[in-house]
Amino acid sequence: MDHSADLTDLSALGGFFVLRTGEAPGRPLPTLAEAYAARDADVKKEVYTNPVIFRVRKVAGSVRAPEPRVAASIAHLGLAARLWSVALGTAALHDRVPDLDPRLLRWDPDASAPDELWLTGVRMLPADRLGEVVREAHLVPLAATLCSQLPVSPRLLWGNAASALMGAVRQIDRWAAANRRPEAAARARRLAAAQLAHPDLAGTLDPATHRRRSCCLYYRLPGGGLCGDCCFDRPPARTRPSGRTGGTR
């Protein structure tokens, strides 16, 4: 059965929810499985050498990030938002999720935001497998890849993941209110709550306000401020990088 039609209406939710199907036109793109497995630090200009680090360096140049961990956080947040949005959006609208097997999901690390994704084979799974599809298949290996090569904190990355998940929920809420689909919003919130209870994500957000308990470091960019769910009430005083490998913020 062709399930591609279940993905065509995701664009109504916004650009982060779009999922293209089939092979990407033009040059071949790496799969996310290849990206998570790469460990060659000599990136140069070849996206296949180490797609994740290539993406981090591209983001660093685009936003003028002062430290590698800042660029790593922003790159991670963008990809996490895309993955959660695609899966949760499909679940909200159709009560099932696409199988986002990293071996079937191609990614263009050289594209502009939001990250471009192509699913080369479409099959649907029950909506309650959302965590398996996104957290286990993608966020766990993505965090391992980043933390093994860059000075970025796992706590920060899981805070990013939770923030990205709630960002998708809020967008679905807005769409559902405008389109009289309260059941879609309720489904998205139920599924998100189950994910936030998982040990990887538990405690990353304040349960009452959904504000983060870690910071994505956006404030450290030139001209950067605080995100809407930031753990800080005002930007911290800027300090020079210490060279330490992470920190909790």
Query: Does residue 76 form part of some domain?
Result: yes
Query: Does residue 157 form part of some domain?
Result: yes
Query: Does residue 168 form part of some domain?
Result: yes
pLDDT tens for the 249 residues of the chain, in order: 556 667 889 999 999 999 999 888 887 899 999 999 987 655 455 566 899 999 999 999 999 999 999 999 999 999 999 999 999 999 999 999 999 999 999 999 999 989 999 999 999 999 999 999 999 999 999 999 999 999 999 999 999 999 999 999 999 999 999 999 999 999 999 999 999 999 999 999 998 888 888 888 878 778 877 787 777 777 776 655 544 333 444
Query: Does residue 226 form part of some domain?
Result: no
Query: Does residue 109 form part of some domain?
Result: yes
Instruction: Return phi, psi of residue 55, to 5°.
Output: -65, -45
Query: Does residue 113 form part of some domain?
Result: yes
Go through 100-125 and write b for each residue having 16 or more CB atoms within 10 A of its CB, e for each that does not: bbbebbbbbbeeebbbbbbbbebebb
Residue 20: which domain range?
5-220
Report how many domains make up the chain: 1
Query: Does residue 149 form part of some domain?
Result: yes
How many CA atoms, within 13 angstroms, populate the side-chain half-sphere of residue 197? 6
Query: Does residue 242 form part of some domain?
Result: no
Write down the pTM of the prediction: 0.89
Cis preceding linkage at 114, omega within 30: yes
